[in-house]
A and B are shown apart, each in its own frame.
Chain A
Amino acid sequence: MNQPARTPFVAALADAPLPASGVAWLDQARRENLVAFAEAGLPDTRVEAWKYTALRALSQRSFAAGDAQAARRAVDPVALALPGIEGPALVFVNGVFRADLSLLDDVPPGVSLQPLSGALTHAPDPLRFALSRRYREPSDAFARLNGAFATDGAVLRVAAGAKVAAPVRLLFIGAAAERDVAWHVRDLVELGEGAELALIEQHLGAGEQAHLGTRLADFTLHADAALHHVVLQQAGAGSSLVRRSHYRLDARAQAHLHVLELGATLARHDVRAELVGDAAVFHTHGAFLPDGRQHIDTQLAIHHQARNTVSASTWRGVASGRGRGVFRGAIVVNTGADGTDASLNNKNLLLSTQAEIDTKPELEIYADEVKAAHGATVGQLDERALFYLRSRGIPGEQARTLLTTAFARAPFESLPDDALRQHIDQLLLSRLPA
Chain B
Amino acid sequence: MLKIDNLHARVEGKDILKGLSLTVKPGEVHAIMGPNGAGKSTLGNVLSGRAGYEVTEGSVLFEGRNLLELEPEERAAAGVFLAFQYPVEIPGVNNTYFLRAAFNAQRKARGEAELDSMQFLKLVREKLKIMQLSPDLLNRAVNEGFSGGEKKRNEIFQMALLEPKLAILDETDSGLDIDALKQVSEGVNALRSPERSFIVVTHYQRLLDYIVPDFVHVLAGGRIVESGDRSLALKLEEHGYAWVAEHGEPAGVSA
Contact = CB atoms under 8 A, between A and B. Distances in A.
A391 B49 contact: yes
Contacts of A382: 88, 90
A256 to B, nearest CB: 20
Which of B48, B103, B142, B158 has the most chain A CB within a 10 Å cutoff? B142
Interface residues of B, number: 30
B105 A395 contact: yes
B109 A393 contact: yes
Interface in B60-96: 71-73, 75-77, 81-82, 84, 87-88, 90-93
Interface residues of A, number: 24
Interface in A386-400: 387-396, 398-399
B111 to A, nearest CB: 14
Contact of A392 (B50, B51, B162): B162
B90 A403 contact: yes
Contact of B101 (A391, A394, A409): A394
B102 interface: yes
Interface string A396-418: 10110011011101100100000
A398 B105 contact: yes
B105 A388 contact: no
Which of A391, A393, A395 has the most chain B CB within a 10 Å cutoff? A393
Contacts, number: 78
Nearest to A387: B50
Contacts of A399: 73
A398 B49 contact: no
Given A385-B88, A402-B98, A391 B93 contact: no
Mostly, the A contact residues are helix
Contacts of B50: 387, 391
Given A402-B98, A403-B93, A394 B88 contact: no
Contacts of A388: 84, 87-88, 90, 142
Contact of A402 (B76, B93, B109): B93
A24 B88 CA distance: 66
B92 A393 contact: no
Contact of B72 (A391, A398, A403, A405): A391
Contacts of A407: 92
Contacts of B102: 389, 392-394
Interface string B31-70: 0000000000000000011110000000000000000000
Interface string A233-269: 0000000000000000000000000000000000000
A429 to B, nearest CB: 12
A384 interface: yes
A391 B45 CA distance: 10
A382 B98 CA distance: 16
A406 B162 contact: no
B75 to A, nearest CB: 8
8 contacts: A384-B88, A391-B48, A392-B102, A393-B102, A394-B101, A395-B73, A396-B71, A410-B91
Given A398-B101, A406-B91, 7 more contacts: A387-B88, A388-B90, A391-B50, A402-B93, A402-B98, A403-B93, A409-B92
Interface of B: 48-51, 71-73, 75-77, 81-82, 84, 87-88, 90-93, 98, 101-103, 105-106, 109, 141-142, 158, 162
Interface of A: 382-385, 387-396, 398-399, 402-403, 405-407, 409-410, 413
